[in-house]
Amino acid sequence: MNGKSINNAGEPYPLLLVDNVSYLPMTWRYAHNEFGWRTDWGAQEGFQLTTEQQKVLHRIIAEDTEALFVEAESNRMLKVNKDLKGDPSLLDDKAKAGVNQLAEKRKPGVPFAGDPKQTAVRLGDSVYYDNIELMSLKPILEKAAAFYESQTEYENKGLDVQSEIMKLDDRTVLAVISVSSFLHIPPPYTPYTHEAFIVRDGKALPVPDLTQVPTRVVRNPDGSFWIASEAADRMTSRTPNVYGQLALLNVSGQLRGMNTKLGEKDIDLLASTNDGLTVKAYSDRFKAYHDSFIPLDAEERETYYHLDLQGKETRLFLYKGAGRGYVDSKGHIYVVDRQVNRISDLTSGQSRMWWDYALKR
């Protein structure tokens, strides 16, 4: 089998030969390791065997009262009933445009956007905003100087310091400083760092766990803020280290890094309500992209949490696999699996898988 000899007499579950037809036991060794199939068991569905198939369903981006709108391969969009019954239907271009507008409106908070009239300045070896020191450049300068001293064939062109400043409220500013060093290396490969700071009441505090430029800011009714940097939606050679990062600035001015608190590399921001966030936390996304048929027991699980306005987490669901999460208007958490064409409603416990050929009709 696959170029390997099988000693049938020594097999705990031997192959059978009946009327010149070979029958194989549905063990993990054969179904998974040899043929790359996926096996599942459900109380209602019974034993299910899934051969490798093309991934058609990508992610849910919006909804109406009865249905979910799902991005699919070949730039298509499908409408799927929320009860996961019936067959998906294809949307035309006009309907797709309306759904994309809905998707943009439902995103939590607002995009992080710097005010072009506000800027940080470099004075000597430090960076200041409104006469408040944000960060020292000495460690970066010293590292660069040591390199150029030992590598004299390269010219030390100094540092490039950029800033983006966003006013959060009358007393709070979010400042992001981007420093590029080793400028002899051309873009986009020039080394850089991003440092985020909250400036409030004449003091600057670094934002924990945020090593990327923020993408969204959520203001809560009590005056606290969520600051998020979203993970790369599709992994490429240029985005393997673009993680989902999240920090909380609570109403008393304290900053908490949620990645450290939850012990996860990635946090996806799914939905915002008056009492907190619904998020997905996970660490190993590479398996989901590069190996469709790995053992679930060896796979990193994805956990869905509710985070309150003090940063306290409540675990909602553990998804055994990898998927893209979506929270609908009623609070149901749906997951589009990254490996097979399956949508699960974690809240109700319902799940449905479609074959690739059925979704392409």
At 146, list the tokens. Answer: 């040591």
pLDDT digits (tens, 9 = 90+) for 199-251: 999 999 999 999 999 999 999 999 999 999 998 876 555 667 889 999 999 99
Residue 98 per-residue DSSP state: H
Beta-ladder partners of 38: 50
Confidence of residue 347 (pLDDT cuts 50, 70, 90): very high
pLDDT digits (tens, 9 = 90+) for 89-98: 999 999 999 9
Q: What percent of the chain has pLDDT over 70?
A: 94
pLDDT computed for residue 350 by the predictor: 93
Helices (H) and strands (E) in the chain, counts: 6, 28
Q: Are 103 and 71 in contact (CB under 8 A)?
A: no
Instruction: Say if residue 291's pLDDT is above 50.
Output: no
Round to whole Å and give the CA distance between 100 and 90.
15
Round to whole Å and give the CA distance between 38 and 68.
26
Round to whole Å and give the CA distance between 187 and 192.
10
| Residue 356: strand, helix, or coil | helix
- Top pLDDT among 287 and 215 is at 215
What residues does each domain of the chain span? 8-35, 57-105, 113-206, 209-327
Considering only CA atoms, which of 206, 220, 281, 219 is closest in space to residue 245?
281
Round to whole Å and give the CA distance between 115 and 101.
25
- Residue reference for tokens 């607002």: 110
- Top pLDDT among 19 and 241 is at 19
Q: Tell me what the mean pLDDT of segment 27-32 comes to.
A: 86
Considering only CA atoms, which of 303, 202, 313 is closest in space to residue 256?
313
Indicate the pairing of strand 132-136 with strand 126-129. antiparallel
Q: What is the pTM of this model?
A: 0.84
Q: Give the Å distances, CA to CA, from 164 to 172, 173, 174.
A: 14, 10, 8
Burial of 74 (0-12, 13-18, 19+ CB in 10 A): exposed
Confidence of residue 262 (pLDDT cuts 50, 70, 90): very high
Considering only CA atoms, which of 273, 279, 274 is closest in space to residue 261?
279
Round to whole Å and give the CA distance between 228 and 213.
9
pLDDT digits (tens, 9 = 90+) for 45-96: 788 887 777 889 999 999 999 999 999 999 999 999 999 999 999 999 999 9
User: What is the architecture, at CATH level 2, of domain 113-206?
Assistant: 2-Layer Sandwich (3.30)
Looking at this protein, which amino acid is placed at residue 29?
A: R
The count of other CB atoms within 10 Å of the CB of residue 78 is 21
The count of other CB atoms within 10 Å of the CB of residue 214 is 24
Q: Calculate Rg over the CA atoms of the chain.
A: 25
